[in-house]
Amino acid sequence: MKRRVKMIGTLTLALVMASPLTPIYASTAEETNFLVRDHIALEEISNLKDEKMNYLSYEGVVKEIRTNGVYLSVSLENEGEITAVFNIFDDTPIVDQASKEALKGPELKNGQKIIGYYRKDMPMLMIYPPMISPDLVIVKDQEDKDFIKYSYFNEELVSEDNFLKLNVSDETIITDQYGEKLGVEDLYNKDLVVFYSATTKSIPAQTNPSKIIILSKKSSESSEFIDIDEVIKAESYKEDGITMIPLRKIAEALEYKVEWNNESRSVLLTRGNSSFTISIGQEKFGYNKSIGVFEKAPVIKDGKTYVPQSFMENLK
């Protein structure tokens, strides 16, 4: 069976860049050049010299929080208008800027100012307000005692815009967005979210950060060769005219890592920058934390998870 590469267009939102005059991102519509045309949120960036950066960010004030089954729908407001919606899943990392501690989705409240970081290659629905499924959410300190800087940092730990240089100490907390502790050696040539306060007046300004979060995707694991056509022929079945196929064998044959969560009765598929969240009995699934719909809800049969064969088009 030949594997085909499926190109999916992406919708890019306003990338809020730090200027040489301020160590924190601009937050108004004028500062971010956020445009709306034909109900599609667009990005106006005069100079994308930071091509090494794999993530974009968006900031707003929480206006409304709704529960949509497997995720929270958080509407963000800027200047009195809903400008974006964050889809917050159970596994979406959330960090409080003031305490530097992890939070859960239900702890979000109306009126909080939050920043979401999401991959710039993430597929999004072409609607307005845009729906974003961030890989990391920061709840900002209402008193703004500390600063947050997001950038690509090179081997000298200098930001891409040459604004900030990091002097890491033993007290600096270093983790990835999932909370796993890492070391100084993991910081070089990476996308970093940096929490800091005082800086020198040099160029670049130097700081001893209190916490650094490394934005990265967990890599998938390869598997042995499996003849997908033979698996479908031998193990599939039909229900209501829809062919159902065993998810794990097919996904692993396509080099996805497959993880089963018994508590939530869900499956997580990951390969490189792609991820799928599939829940038994639910017709909606998460794709890179966007939302897709099955022809028929996944089921467990003979101890295996089965999904419609049409879902394979998403995996290729």
* Per-position pLDDT tens, the chain of length 316: 433 333 333 333 333 333 332 333 333 333 333 333 232 333 333 333 345 677 888 999 999 999 876 789 999 999 989 999 998 988 888 999 888 888 888 899 999 999 999 887 766 666 788 888 888 999 998 776 788 999 989 888 999 889 999 999 999 999 998 888 999 888 988 889 999 998 999 999 999 999 999 987 654 433 345 678 888 889 999 999 999 999 988 888 888 888 888 788 899 998 877 889 999 999 999 988 689 999 999 999 877 899 999 999 888 7
Residue 219 phi, psi dihedral angles, 5° rounding: -80, 155
Both structure tokens of 281: 């009995």
Distances (CA, A) of 97 to 103, 125, 143, 146: 10, 29, 10, 8
Classify residue 181 by its DSSP letter.
Answer: B
Q: What pLDDT was estimated at residue 206?
A: 97
Beta strands in 90-135 (DSSP E): 94-96, 102-103, 113-119, 131-132
CB atoms within 10 A of CB 307: 27
Beta strands in 170-298 (DSSP E): 173-176, 190-196, 205-207, 211-215, 237-239, 242-246, 257-261, 266-271, 274-279, 284-287, 290-293
Both structure tokens of 302: 């003979």
- Distance in angstroms (rounded) separating the CA atoms of residues 308 and 200: 58
Question: In 3-state terms, what secondary structure has residue 258?
Answer: strand
215 CB burial (10 A radius; 0-12, 13-18, 19+): buried
Strands 290-293 and 284-287: antiparallel
CB atoms within 10 A of CB 143: 8
Q: What pLDDT was estimated at residue 144?
A: 66
Which residues are CB-contacts of 80 (< 8 A; sequence separation ≥ 6)? none
What domains can be seen in the chain, in order of their start residue?
A: 29-215 (no CATH), 228-315 (3.30.457.10)
Burial 54-71 (b: 16+ CB within 10 A, else e): bbbbbbbbbbebeeeebb
Q: What pLDDT was estimated at residue 24?
A: 33
